[in-house]
Structure 1
Amino acid sequence: MKILLLGAAGQIGHALTATMPEGCDLLALDRNALDITDTAALTALIASEQAQAAINAAAYTDVDAAEAHEEEAFGINAEAPRAIAAACARSGTRLVHISTDYVFDGTATTPYRPDARPAPLGVYGRSKLAGEQAVQEYPDALLIRSAWVYDAHGRNFLDTMLRLMTERNEIRVVADQTGTPTHAKSLARAIWALLDAEARGIHHFTDAGKTSWHGFAKAIEAKARELGLLDGCTVTPTTAADYGAPAPRPAFSVLDCRGTWPITGTPQDWNDELDGVLAERKAAA
């Protein structure tokens, strides 16, 4: 099967390449190879390649910067997916699009089902929701929402925490926002499984369990210290209001993945998955 991967240099794109199934002919393109906001170039590429499926793993993911760069965020997260979906529909290419828990407002007290009503709080979430709506105009599209994605490589929460914990004796981390840390390779394997199963519509996928950003950071500190990746750091809880990030974030964004796990297999608990990611990080050090 020939697969077109957009956003190959990002952590999800990197994980998709690393977990690619046998027999897959993958054309992996980063932003240097293709600017997805160039509609003419994008449309021409999809038409000429005639791939069986296209995976859009490209996104503007800087949640705080999006507040000041709304046009850019919407260009990448909303307008480009609309063009990708239209081009895929014309060429008969299946589309897999990756979205986020940030399309929800976080007022729920139970995990968000795929059919829950989106109500994003900030520019990033609104831009991703607009991309979802564009993609869903085409009934053959597969939309996968995930949450708190991280990996041993690239810029993400894990990388930021390890850097700060090395530089400082104490850090403050928000304790009143709850979600599910998800290893990028867990998500990548799920994407391949859903693609193989010819899934359609909206699916949720994360690792199992839930925690706060503070809980995630505490686990990173304890496990990294045991592995000798850092000497130790005090991780102090704070509130989102006191932390004062530019962009609002959902207080609760755990996703209900029960409809997806029968296809993908139930993943490990996020805390166990973190062990493997940190071991990979140590091996690369």
Structure 2
Amino acid sequence: MKKIMVTGCNGQLGRAINKEMGQDSSLEFINTDVGELDITDVNKVLSFVQEVKPYAIINCAAHTNVNKCETDVDNAYKINAIGPRNLSIAAARTGAKLMHVSTDYVFDGNGSKPYIEFDPVDPVGMYGATKLAGETFVREFAKDWFIIRTAWLYGDGNNFVKTMLRLSEQNDTVRVVADQFGTPTSASELAKAIKALIFTDNYGIFHGTCEGSCSWAEFASEIFRLAGKSTKVDYITTEEFASPAPRPAYSVLENYMLKLTTDFRFADWHDALVEYMNQEKSI
């Protein structure tokens, strides 16, 4: 039986991984969150991983509050950089594979065509900078590693889809940024991609997002359309929204490495959103 250790197990992706792979009787899941394991403490991580001896570690833990990362810099580096470093050291020492989840925010967003894995990185804010530091540590300290960058993730938990639906209950119009472009990505689809990679030796950096792209405002409009809401979307600029943290204007990712090296393909973002919203209705 292969042991799969998941950090950040209570987050959207952690839950999706357990749902996607949890029915496999050949796998045993060791689920941890901050209450079970402090990934920022190297000694605790080494002790835990040496005791568990997992086949693979999937690191879903992250400080994902983009605005807060600008002021909570120490914690952002601890969780997004030191944590992956510690897991990498432990994975290398025990012979475990490491699957580390990263972000589109490692790019500056000044381009106009989808980023591939071979494009230069240049984060514009602390969230992206700390996540990039985590990638660097994984490459430096882990032996058998995958890094999968994703974007605009939604699943079982607090997310943009649920926020928009909640706002639609209280407002006739919702103001949403229309000049930031990316790809809404279902946690379920990302879990499928991780499953397709984790049992292989196809190591390296991968992009993992649903196919296609849109703005946040277009994403909101599609959510309301599918939910049968009459709420209107007021398309506004990033400047009008006045966020504390800088965000990449165009961070669409191309799943180039997956297409070059595997048969796995993500669903189109529209189709994945339909599936997610249908599941939410049935819960």
1:5 counterpart SS class: strand
Q: Which of 143, 161, 164 is equivalent to 1:161?
A: 164
User: 1:65: Cα distance to partner?
Assistant: 1.3
2:80, 2:130 within 8 Å by CA — same for their partners in 1? yes
Please show how residues 42-81 of structure 1 align to structure 2 within 5 Å. 42-81=45-84
Q: SS of 2:117's equivalent?
A: coil
Given that 2:178 and 2:216 are in contact with CA atoms closer than 8 Å, whether structure 1 keeps it comes out as yes
Match of 2:36 in 1: 33
2:112 corresponds in structure 1 to 109
Distance in 1 of aligned mates of 2:13 and 2:242 = 28
Separation in structure 2 between the aligned mates of residue 269 and residue 198 of structure 1, nearest angstrom: 27
The 1-side partners of 2:12 and 2:256 are apart by 25
2-structure distance, mates of 1:258, 1:197: 17
Q: Is the 8 A contact 2:117 2:256 kept in 1?
A: no
- Give distance in 2, aligned partners of 1:33 and 1:282: 32
CA RMSD of aligned residues (A): 1.2
TM-superposed deviation, 1:140: 1.8
Distance (Å, rounded) in 2 between the aligned partners of 1:118 and 1:127: 13
Equivalent-residue separation in structure 2 for 1:167 and 1:64 (angstroms): 25
Q: Is the 8 A contact 1:108 1:252 kept in 2?
A: yes
Indicate the SS of the match to 1:16. Answer: helix
Q: Which residue in the other structure is 1:232 paired with?
A: 230
**Paired positions, count:** 278
Correspondence 1:218 to 2:221: yes
Residue by residue, what CA displacement relative to the aligned partner does 1:219-247 show, whole Å, maximum 9, x if unpaired?
A: 0011112xxxxx53111100001111111
8 A Cα contact 1:197 1:263, kept in partner: no
Q: Which moved more, 1:264-273 or 1:246-255?
A: 264-273
Distance 2:217 2:250 in 1: 14
> How far apart, in 1, do the equivalents of 2:263 and 2:88 lie?
24
Unaligned runs of 5+ in 2: none
Compute the TM-score of the two structures, normalised by the length of structure 1. 0.94
Aligned match for 1:100, one of 88, 103, 106: 103
Provide structure 1 residue ranges, at least 5 long, that are not aligned to the other structure.
226-230
CA distance in 1, matches of 2:216, 2:126: 21
In the other structure, the counterpart of 2:280 is 281
Asked if 2 retains the 8 angstrom alpha-carbon contact of 1:204 and 1:257, the reply is yes
* 1:105-184 equivalent positions in 2, closer than 5 A: 105-137=108-140, 138-151=142-155, 153-184=156-187
1:55-105 CA-to-partner distances (Å, cap 9, x unmatched) read 101101111111121111111000111111011111111111000000000
Question: 2:246, 2:268 → 1: CA distance?
Answer: 27
